[in-house]
Amino acid sequence: MTPSPLDREAEEAIAWMVRLRAGAPDARLQARFDAWRDGDPARRRAWEHLQARLGAPYDTLRRLDRQLAHDLLAPPALGRRDVLRGIAGLGLAGGALWLGLRSAPGRAVFADLRSGTGERRRVTLADGSQLDLNAGSAVDVAFQAGQRLLLLRRGELVVRVAADPSRPFVVRSAQGDVCALGTRFLVRQEADVTHVAVLEHAVRARLPGGEALELREGQSARLHAGAVERLAGDPRRAAAWLDGRLDVLDEPLEAVVDALRPYRRGLVRVAPQVRGLRVQGVFPLDDSDRALTALAETLPIRIQRYGPWLTLIEPAG
């Protein structure tokens, strides 16, 4: 079941917490905060609940290091939705707004279709196509008379396209379009690239500048800002999440942890010294603690957990 979204008072409390703790607040900012908190009993309750749940742990996390503080502490000029991207996944009331540190949070939170942390979701679209969303994904649906368009805002999907010769089926990511040629395929939005894998038939991947590449069944590629890169390997491995598995063959630890993030609340930080360690194996997505323990048993790493808020992966010893 998807958790309920944050109410307005909780969102405002989060925004005030980040604003006050991002630097040394001046008297004017403190006065504005006092007026906000004291102006409504619901706001005061939201603030007290936030402090009880995250006040002391937040200060602990803030002191860990500069990069982590950057991840958590958005500059005061950012809007409420931008603030939520860093901390709404820390288990606060209604943590369903976990937005991902590298996503477009405002668009994702209002997307037509979303999946929560640890939730895989299957949807039958209006045209009969079947859509699977991996955990932590968001998609807008824009079907019109001449085209069926999915806008992938965050995360990963697999779609089995229903036949309709009069309306092309396109998945659009931040890097380009993937047009179905009667097919089942996967699209994953990563930080700066889009991963495409063809599970049946074919697709045409196209960049905004016009460069295109046709991919057949069993082929995959990455869409970069200025180029399409063909990849080797079996694309079925990339879709193992449909069965609750993470199937890894010689991938860096950082990539493996990235695949586990949508299945965990809170932050997971990997120390630079171990990000490049090579990993292979099959890991359970629905029990990410067991997956991390398995990684620690086979790699020279140690895992430290700070409640539900933070997991640190560091060199052993």
The last residue of one of the domains, among 186, 204, 237, is 237
**Is residue 221 within a helix (H) or strand (E), and if so which, with residue range?**
strand 220-223
The last residue of one of the domains, among 53, 68, 97, is 97
Could you tell me if residue 137 is inside a domain? yes
Q: Are residues 230 and 249 in the same domain?
A: no
Q: Are residues 157 and 251 in the same domain?
A: no
Residue by residue, DSSP assigns 240-261 as GGGGTEEEEEEEEHHHHHHHHG
Could you tell me if residue 3 is inside a domain? no
Angle between helices 8-21 and 27-38 (to 10 degrees): 160
Could you tell me if residue 108 is inside a domain? no
pLDDT at 78: 39
Domains contained in the chain, number: 3
Q: Are residues 310 and 283 in the same domain?
A: yes
Q: Are residues 231 and 128 in the same domain?
A: yes
Q: Are residues 119 and 213 in the same domain?
A: yes
Residue by residue, DSSP assigns 15-60 as HHHHHHHSS---HHHHHHHHHHHHT-HHHHHHHHHHIIIIIHHHHH
The last residue of one of the domains, among 54, 71, 97, is 97
Q: Are residues 14 and 83 in the same domain?
A: yes
Q: Are residues 133 and 186 in the same domain?
A: yes
Q: Are residues 13 and 55 in the same domain?
A: yes
Q: Are residues 160 and 139 in the same domain?
A: yes
- Give strand ranges (E) for 56-193: 113-114, 121-124, 130-133, 138-143, 148-160, 169-172, 177-180, 184-189
β-pairing verdict for 202-206 and 177-180 = antiparallel
pLDDT digit string (tens) for the chain, length 317 residues: 333 445 677 767 877 876 776 556 678 888 888 999 999 988 898 888 777 655 554 454 444 444 444 444 433 333 444 444 444 444 443 343 333 333 355 566 678 999 999 999 999 999 999 999 999 999 999 999 999 999 999 999 999 999 999 999 999 999 999 999 989 999 999 989 999 999 999 999 999 988 999 999 999 999 999 899 999 888 889 999 999 999 999 999 999 999 999 999 888 999 999 999 999 999 999 999 999 999 999 999 999 988 778 899 999 97
Q: Are residues 309 and 275 in the same domain?
A: yes
Could you tell me if residue 38 is inside a domain? yes
Domain hosting residue 68, numbered range: 8-97
Could you tell me if residue 207 is inside a domain? yes
Look up the CATH number of the domain holding residue 256: 3.55.50.30
